[in-house]
Amino acid sequence: YEFHASVCVWTRYSDGTVKLRNSNIELMDQDILYHLALGSESHDLHEMFGDVKFVCMGGTPKRMENFAHFIMGEIGYKLPAGTKLEDISAYSYRYSMYKVGPVLCVSHGMGTPSVSILLHELIKLMYHAKCQDPIFIRIGTCGGVGVEGGTVIITEEALDSHMRNAHEFTILGKTVLRPAKLDKKLARELKALASEDDPYDTIIGKTLCTNDFYEGQGRLDGAFCEFTETDKMEYLEMLSSKGVVNIEMESTIFAALTYHAGIKAAVVCVALLNRLNGDQVNAPKEVMHEWQNRPQTLISRYICKTLAQK
Ligand code: R2B
Ligand code: URA
């Protein structure tokens, strides 16, 4: 499979606003962002979201609410008097969304279909709101491959289950492959923000994105398993020999859709376990909770640094 190298160039206007690659949208009276409980006529999206610079996503509503509170303290943002942090998409009953000044914090659920729906609507939201040069970041969890629990992993390349640096779409019954490219420079910038004083490692490597947590990730402990432990270990060793350091379930769609939209993106996950040692996620809750703050800390350093430069 081959990709054209230049897709990114014309997907943004010279002022950095997101150009929509779908002319149908301009012709509609109103665009309803159904799963966000927002609409282009029912809401003044430019007024509400025009200042957004960072769109941070993670699996669960609670983690993203926590991140919103955390980043508020870190960037010293004060909510308008008399208001409190509220879930903007509460009435979608699908995703949660919190806005802290230039930072949007959104839950994306599990797996590529959930992220796909959200990204279509968030990319359109960036367009309607006329956001300039927004950056999309996934803050997630993953299984490490030869990497201990608690390690922070920045994705340099997202691979699908066939080891392609692409995401496979089915559109009108046809298979379409789109490149799953992340911003390499952004990944290096994030790596540089890891501190020697951090009591854990922050590494860069390839990420395998699967459509399942159990059989799809070579686990022996699902409801079904029709391969042996030897098969599993051979598979994980093969992944490791190709530079794969972690496995999760969203990176290819995240990379493919942001790249298609000309939006810079990064994926930063914390490993919950080392898959070479087992399959069950069994670290104590408090430990796991602390681990999940680690990618947030890195992204907070990036956001603070970027805002200070403006
Ligand atoms: C990491 O954690 C979830 C599965 O437990 C999935 O969303 C992912 O990518
Ligand atoms: N998320 C995954 O997708 N896999 C793991 O092993 C842990 C978290």
Q: What are the tens digits of pLDDT across the range 9-55? A: 457 788 889 889 999 999 999 999 999 999 999 999 999 999 999 99
Q: Are 211 and 112 in contact (CB under 8 A)?
A: yes
**310 C-alpha to center of ligand 1: Å?**
34
Q: How far is the CA of 6 from the centre of ligand 1 (A)?
A: 31
Give the closest ligand to the alpha carbon of residue 143.
2
**Over 70: is that where the pLDDT of 3 sits?**
no
What is the tens place of the pLDDT at every residue in 132-191? 999 999 999 999 999 999 999 999 999 999 999 999 999 999 999 999 999 999 999 999
Pocket of ligand 1 (CB under 6 A): 59, 110, 140-142, 213, 248-250
What is the model's pLDDT at position 14? 84
Predicted confidence band of residue 4 (pLDDT cuts 50, 70, 90): very low
- Mean pLDDT (whole number) for 1-5: 46
With beta carbons less than 8 A apart as the criterion, state whether 211 and 110 touch.
no
Complex-level ipTM beyond the 0.95 threshold? yes
pLDDT at 155: 98
pTM of this structure: 0.96
pLDDT in tens, 104-116: 999 999 999 999 9
Question: Which band of pLDDT confidence, cut at 50, 70 and 90, is reported for residue 271?
Answer: very high
In the CATH scheme, what architecture does the domain 10-309 have? 3-Layer(aba) Sandwich (3.40)
- CA 279 to ligand 2: nearest atom: 6
Please give the structure tokens belonging to residue 204. 């860069």
Distance CA 136, CA 155 (A): 13
Residue 194 has what DSSP assignment? -
Ligand 2 neighbour 250 (Cβ under 6 A): no
The pLDDT, as a whole number, for residue 16 is: 87
**β strands within the chain, DSSP E:** 32-33, 38-39, 54-58, 97-100, 103-107, 135-144, 152-159, 166-171, 174-179, 202-209, 244-248, 264-274
Residue 228 has pLDDT above 50, yes or no: yes
Is the predicted pLDDT of residue 200 greater than 50, yes or no?
yes
133: Cα within 13 Å, side-chain hemisphere: 5
Q: Which residue's CA lies nearest to atom 3 of ligand 2?
A: 248
Q: Which of 116, 73, 95, 97 is nearest to 251 (CA)?
A: 116
Distance in angstroms (rounded) separating the CA atoms of residues 256 and 252: 6
Taking the domains of the chain in order of start, what are their residue ranges? 10-309
